[in-house]
Structure 1
Amino acid sequence: MKPIPTGTRFAFDYTVQPGVTVPALYADTFPEFAQMPGVLATGLMVTLIEGCCQRAILPFLDWPREGSLGVHVDFSHLAPTPPGMTVHVTAEVVAVNGRRVVFRAEAFDAVECISRGTHERMVVDYERFARKAADKARAAGLAA
């Protein structure tokens, strides 16, 4: 990992697809979701913001050996966004403490701000992390 400067920014646009709306999620587990409005689901909005943060620091990592994982999210979902609208996401590095990187992020659709908040990611060695996950799966009797 190279030093990650505070102030590092990244932005991207995403057009909301029907498959990322609330009714499209977990229909087998939560049938009541099918009755909800067809708007961008909060969890998938958070995923968009996480992806933007991840891309912001990618040039400073030894990719693909090294990457980052989300360890904390604190976002408000302020307004609905229907399919077909484009969401513009921005992220800025506001603090770095060793391998922990803190971001401030926002998301807007064509009409208004739909989210703002903070996110933390931890820079990790993916192979080492995958070994820990495999060890845990074996301990739980899920893998050979």
Structure 2
Amino acid sequence: MLEAGLSGRSTTMVTAENTAAAMGSGDLAVFATPAMVALMEHAAMEAVAGELPEGSTTVGSEMNTTHVKPSKLGAEITATAVLTAVEGRKLTFNVGARDEVGLIGEGTHVRYVVDRRRFLEKLG
């Protein structure tokens, strides 16, 4: 059952592949904002995956985040997501990311529950 309070987490290490320089979002060898956002989305997806109807998944539609601190190569990053509201198919999450030192980013994220088959059929 989808209800407020469900939570998920996702972890990664900062590597050369997920730096701002490698992803094109900057030119420094620090954890990229797009990588942080993807990690937050994954945590939100995981938070509700076990409660979805058969054949359903969630898709991200909105992300509002701040990236407040850089993280160096080798740092472990953990993103968390807590479901705060369920409005029909619309799911709203509070998301955050931390490294060993502390908070690196936070925000809100919206996902929608979709039927996998119907969603992919729309692609043609």
TM range (shorter): over 0.9
Bigger strand fraction: 2
Q: Deviations over 1:68-104 (max 9, x none)?
A: 0001000101111122100121110000000110000
- Provide the rounded CA distance (Å) in 2 between the counterparts of 1:11 and 1:129: 25
- Provide the rounded CA distance (Å) in 1 between the counterparts of 2:59 and 2:110: 9
- Provide the rounded CA distance (Å) in 2 between the counterparts of 1:69 and 1:86: 26
Give runs of ≥4 in structure 1 deviating > 3 Å. none
Relative to the length of structure 1, the TM-score reads 0.81
- Provide the rounded CA distance (Å) in 1 between the counterparts of 2:76 and 2:57: 27
Structure 1 residue aligned with 2:97, among 107, 115, 133?
107
Secondary structure of the residue that 2:50 maps to in structure 1? helix
Q: Does 2:32 align with 1:41?
A: yes
How far is 1:11 from its partner?
2.0
2:10–2:42 Cα contact (<8 Å) kept? no
Matches within 5 A, 1:16-35: 16-26=14-24, 33=26
Taking only the aligned residue pairs, the percentage that are identical comes to 31
- Provide the rounded CA distance (Å) in 2 between the counterparts of 1:89 and 1:47: 9
Any stretches of 5+ residues in structure 2 without a counterpart?
none
Bigger helix fraction: 1
- Provide the rounded CA distance (Å) in 2 between the counterparts of 1:94 and 1:66: 20
Relative to the length of structure 2, the TM-score reads 0.93
Indicate the RMSD between aligned Cα atoms, in angstroms: 1.4
2:14–2:72 Cα contact (<8 Å) kept? yes
When Rg is computed on C-alpha atoms for both structures, the one with the higher figure is 1
What is the aligned residue count?
124
Secondary structure of the residue that 1:60 maps to in structure 2? coil
1:142 counterpart residue number: none
2:31–2:73 Cα contact (<8 Å) kept? yes
1:116 counterpart residue number: 106
Secondary structure of the residue that 2:123 maps to in structure 1? helix
Any stretches of 5+ residues in structure 1 without a counterpart?
135-144
Structure 1 residue aligned with 2:8, among 4, 7, 10?
10
Secondary structure of the residue that 2:9 maps to in structure 1? strand
Secondary structure of the residue that 1:51 maps to in structure 2? helix
- Provide the rounded CA distance (Å) in 2 between the counterparts of 1:11 and 1:52: 4
- Provide the rounded CA distance (Å) in 2 between the counterparts of 1:121 and 1:19: 26
- Provide the rounded CA distance (Å) in 1 between the counterparts of 2:119 and 2:45: 17
